[in-house]
């Protein structure tokens, strides 16, 4: 059974940084589009960033451009989300997801992805 496990969440003050990790077990990220999503209480889950695990372009939501960086380490079968200059509005549960193909125009759509992790909580205080 494929498992994606997120880690690295926590509580920080505004302006701080966190690095989230998404590790896959019983699954190889090669040839996958891997995305990060987030969901705040009472809100819809939204796309944050995506990357093709075999290299190429990175994609970001406008709300995080210039602050968040998605990257991959294929040797560790892990995708990261470096989050800098965090704001209270970044407070959410963060999820990673994967689909075994390149990232196309639908990389921010929830229905694109086959596999999801359980999430890691990020809380940013003002």
pLDDT tens by residue, 51-83:
998 877 899 999 999 999 999 998 899 999 999
Q: How confident is the model at residue 2 (pLDDT cuts 50, 70, 90)?
A: confident
The conformational region for residue 47 under phi > 0 = left, psi -120 to 50 = alpha, else beta, is beta
pLDDT tens by residue, 99-115:
999 999 899 999 999 99
Tell me the pLDDT of the chain averaged across its residues: 95
Give the Cα separation of 16 and 25 in Å (integer).
30
Average pLDDT over residues 87-100: 97
Give the Cα separation of 79 and 73 in Å (integer).
6
- Confirm if 89 and 106 have CB atoms less than 8 A apart: no
Q: Can you say whether the dihedral through the CA atoms of 108, 114, 11, 82 is positive or negative?
A: negative
């Amino acid at each position: 059974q494929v498992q994606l496990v997120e880690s690295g969440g926590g509580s920080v003050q505004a302006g701080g940084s966190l690095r989230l990790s998404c590790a896959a077990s019983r699954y190889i990220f090669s040839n996958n589009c891997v995305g990060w999503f987030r969901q705040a209480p009472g809100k819809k889950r939204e796309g944050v960033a995506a990357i093709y695990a075999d290299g190429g372009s990175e994609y970001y939501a406008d709300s995080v451009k210039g602050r968040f960086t998605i990257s991959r380490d294929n040797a560790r079968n892990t995708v990261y989300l470096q989050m800098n200059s965090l704001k209270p509005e970044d407070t959410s549960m963060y999820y990673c997801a994967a689909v075994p193909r390149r990232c196309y125009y639908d990389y921010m759509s929830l229905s694109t992805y086959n596999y999801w992790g359980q999430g890691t909580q990020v809380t940013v205080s003002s």
